[in-house]
Structure 1
């Protein structure tokens, strides 16, 4: 069977589902292997749909599984090719080639980050836990979206200004909350961000937490990170190039504290995403010039970016209002001009008819 990335799905993420899933974890956050057995099996194309979510860690793969709970609250996964059941929910399964024990220290740091991201945890993405698989281990998320920001942009779903403003605000909210909670280092690019259409507005969920140097050092692949140079701060992208040239590890990397992402590198990537979202307009280039500075120390912080964005949004809305008023004025003038022209034509017509009538009367006499 040929599978493809699923389109955006309306997902029912109820409190009952969440509570049931969380009830089947141990104190360490490990999944109950028996209860979660349907999703801990190796991915197969009948029930596991590949997702085009990217990761800086090699050999990490993402799948989405649609499921529901039966009468006894057991997980029942549903075939990818079939219409989801009325009470379905979606799980994102992230597979790793390492065994669970090797990644447990890193997963503990990662869980704390996602648990502290309340702004997205409330409605978009919840970190459930970790468990062993036949070929390594996996992490399970309960999600409200199976759609990446990249797909939303490519399909023109975010073409209007209001949608762009909503996505920007959601991005800034998430990064600000993460930084204020002490969580630094995200793989920020459209293919590692989820996009949700809520009942009121659009929002995003970050699913690309990487961590700072200390956190990354707990990951077995901390020397193999693959940063995307199109979105990554130059100081991180440069280390990619050094590795490709076969350069020896720095003294920092050989120790337990890896020289990893910073607040400044997160700001740079966020700035690049917003430039892409607003199609690199002159206004956004001016707005984000301090966010995408090559020198990390010269970049703004998230509070400054929020202030600049609020001012930018106010200015755009002011210009849109002025433009709308001007268009309405021009339309009214056009209507008035057409009315006057119609009146002139009607008068000319009446005058011509009067003249013709007088001529006919003169002929009769």
Structure 2
């Protein structure tokens, strides 16, 4: 008997995103090819790489590049993982024990909720409020936190709303955690994908019981590298490495090499600028498409991230709508049900613009055929 719930969001994507003509729900950016990312000399060096294990917690050059993104951090504050998903798994098993309470921002990437349940912890939700432009309900957070709360977990920038916390909101979350000596764990995998071009502050440095994740899959458009990381206090990162020895042992040696290049300041800026430009252009195009339907679609424009979370005013369940579009028009959107929010869906806005618009044209056909719109 399986003790962990099916991770609905990931399972649905894995089943369908590669079997449709148009995947409109990609959560990152159109990925780079090696030829686009690397110069000839670097590619040549790559072909001479010895395919060994390397340093299992991450090569020193890579960890130095990562630590440079966080105030007051060194390579000893970094564990390199196979994607930020492994980082989340390791963080939970390092920080939490059976019976601990975990208070989690919702909507969110729901992996940590499932892990907490599997561990025998008690997950509780505090909400971003759509009616307040997705601002967090910090009064609700305060009311849910108890002496049993071991971790407050947030996603900033947020998946799927694109909301970014203000410094005041971050400070209040830290104050609430301090009050009960809880950890703040922040999924920061979309840090670097801000529409205004200004990278937001990390939670690192705001409190001594903070751990964050990051990775190259989302803001950096390099999901195939499966390269993520954890940042936290040195003694705690040593503990996470011990768990990492029991999970994947190490990320791939090629990913270490390519990831270090991607995070060199000039190359990093080039990558982020490319992706932010796509995001801004695509958001304008998708908003225009949605707006043609008047009040059928409602949305709060994201401040960051690779997606737009849309509310729709049709008498159909979101999973039903997604399945119908997939079967009838070979278009995949992610149902709001995956976040526990019916009558919403997620559109990825980090893809190529012509691809997104062609997929939306199929959706338009479907809305005309079924609803006469």
Q: TM-score range by the shorter chain?
A: under 0.3
Higher RCO by CA contacts (8 Å cutoff, separation 6 or greater) = 2
TM-score after normalising by structure 1: 0.27
- Of structures 1 and 2, the larger Rg is shown by 1
